[in-house]
Amino acid sequence: MLVGEGGQPERAAGHLMQTAPAADPWVVERLRAAAAEARAAGAPEIAASYLRRALAEPPAEAERAQVLFELGSAEAMIEGEAAIEHLREALEHVTEPRLRGPITELLARRLFFSGNPEEAVAVAQREIEDLGEADPEWRRRLQAIVLFAGTMEPSFVSVGEELDRRLRAGEQSDAASLGEKALLGLIAFRRARSGAPASEATALARRALEGDLLLRRSNGDAGFLCATLVLALADSELALATYTAARDVARKQGDGFGLTCNQVHSGEAHLLRGDLAKAVEASAEGLDMGLDYGAASAPAWGTAFLADALMETGDLDGAWQALARATTDEQVPDSAHWDRFLDTRSRLRIACGDLRGGLEETLALGRRYTAVGGRNPAFIPWRSRAAVCLVRLEKEPERARELAAEEVAFARAWGAPRGLGIALQAQGLVLGGEEGLGLLREAVEVLDGLLARLEHARALGEYGAALRRLGHRTEAREPLAGAIDLARACGAMPIAERAQTELRATGARPRSLVFTGVESLTARERQVAELAAAGRNNPEIARSCS
């Protein structure tokens, strides 16, 4: 009666959900229509419930693969493992050629993000071979999955390099389709990580993102995230705006996967800008989402960004607790997804005084990073950290100088200020004396007036300290005072406290470094306060801050 009166499909579906399965094609049709309506309204959970009931009816055998695909597509937005199960079954039953590409692509993507790259590549490559030249667009979209595996997984590096070479000839095309844009985003990331100039890599990334096709139809997937990450590491303001827009789209669509990925990486964007409180908030929320969804790589990235932000505020215990949410094992998976986690852990060891342990882990990370084609220090500045550690340990001075010089050379080739500023600071500390002072001054100049406020504060502090050590006490006061002001604005207590100590050593009598109001809160305390202000109850706050 409801259908006959022209009622909305979901009204009828509410009744049909209560009926016993009877292999009725009409019931399957109504439930699929209701599911489509729910998906359009941004309610994939409801859509999935209708489609599970449609599957139990059951549908006709010729229709089964389509229903399974629709169910897997809805589940892919909310629960990765359930989606994989139904997409695998859909691929086994599919007979229509037009469905093979969409099912294979979604299955391969979810397999990859669930931590099963081997099966993901096998599924994608099998379909690529079967397609031949019949459908160029689906071929490109599946190639993007294989290229991503070759970008992140050491076991597929040679596959990625071969595919990259074959794709280069077509990279100057208009990149109008989804597959072309996904490949272009990955190519931009690979160029950036290998050390190509930032101007070249960001041009490719912008072309991949222009028109918002990736944002609307591939939100959170590899091509989109890789292109946006290139912009973030090239100090572009567009990166955070892109993550924010993508989060808004994901919320409207009910896309938990896209929301998780963008929330996690927006934490890094805030961190790179020196907004530590926002970095803690975004990373913690993204980490919770990733653990709930079951995305295998989300904990590795999310804990790294969260621990990094907490470490910069001085909360070293909180940083260790954050990393433990991903793993407590010393050994982590041999995947580039975990390199950022190791980068943070090595820094944290050093911050806690374990110079030898930090150096050892930094050098091991450098070998991992190099194995997947990484040279750009804007991604992983392992040479700088190792060089400074060697100097502090008074070991292998020549090697320290070589590592620092290599880092500066790679950073200059990349050309974006933040990475160069970090490398110059390290080389300045390694060389010391007047030569080192000149490099530290250059680091301050490179970082001045940019988004990277945290690194600018650090550079000012190191420059002022170097001036003081060389006897230029009066000249040291201005950069040290600037370091204090910038560090306070970022919430970076350790940088501010060290600059304060150095400023006193110049003979100045600065006011006590007292934080009041919001600035007096640690990053964790501010996170709790903001959650409470947003109306979260105590159990919800405890889960978010655990």
Span 276-287, average pLDDT: 95
Confidence check: pLDDT of 510 > 70: no
Span 115-143, average pLDDT: 91
Tally of helices (H runs) and strands (E runs) in the chain = 29, 0
Burial of 270 (0-12, 13-18, 19+ CB in 10 A): buried
* Per-residue pLDDT at 521: 61
DSSP letter at 153 equals: -
Range picked from 292-306, 449-463, 506-520 for highest mean pLDDT = 449-463
Q: How far is Cα 511 from Cα 193, in angstroms, rounded to an integer?
A: 44
* Per-residue pLDDT at 81: 86
Span 363-368, average pLDDT: 97
Q: How far is Cα 260 from Cα 64, in angstroms, rounded to an integer?
A: 30
Q: How far is Cα 152 from Cα 296, in angstroms, rounded to an integer?
A: 13
- Please give the mean pLDDT across all residues of the chain: 91
pLDDT tens string 174-196: 678 999 999 999 999 999 999 99
| Confidence band of 450 (pLDDT split at 50, 70, 90) | confident
Least confidently predicted of 319-333, 337-351, 508-522: 508-522
Q: How far is Cα 285 from Cα 279, in angstroms, rounded to an integer?
A: 10
Confidence check: pLDDT of 5 > 70: no
* Per-residue pLDDT at 516: 46
* Per-residue pLDDT at 295: 76
Q: How far is Cα 404 from Cα 429, in angstroms, rounded to an integer?
A: 9
Confidence check: pLDDT of 136 > 60: yes
Share of the chain above pLDDT 90, in %: 80
pLDDT tens string 458-497: 999 999 999 999 999 999 999 999 999 999 999 999 999 9
Q: How far is Cα 85 from Cα 69, in angstroms, rounded to an integer?
A: 11
Confidence check: pLDDT of 172 > 60: no
| Confidence band of 3 (pLDDT split at 50, 70, 90) | confident
Compute the half-sphere exposure of residue 271: CA atoms within 13 Å on the CB side of its CA. Answer: 29
Span 363-378, average pLDDT: 96
Residues with Cβ within 8 Å of residue 401, at least 6 apart in sequence:
387, 430, 431
* Per-residue pLDDT at 522: 56
Cα 287 to the center of its chain, rounded Å: 11
pLDDT tens string 383-421: 999 999 999 999 999 999 999 999 999 999 999 999 999
Burial of 163 (0-12, 13-18, 19+ CB in 10 A): buried
Confidence check: pLDDT of 170 > 70: no
DSSP letter at 58 equals: P
58 preceded by cis ω (within 30°)? yes
* Per-residue pLDDT at 46: 95
Q: Is pTM beyond 0.85 here? A: yes
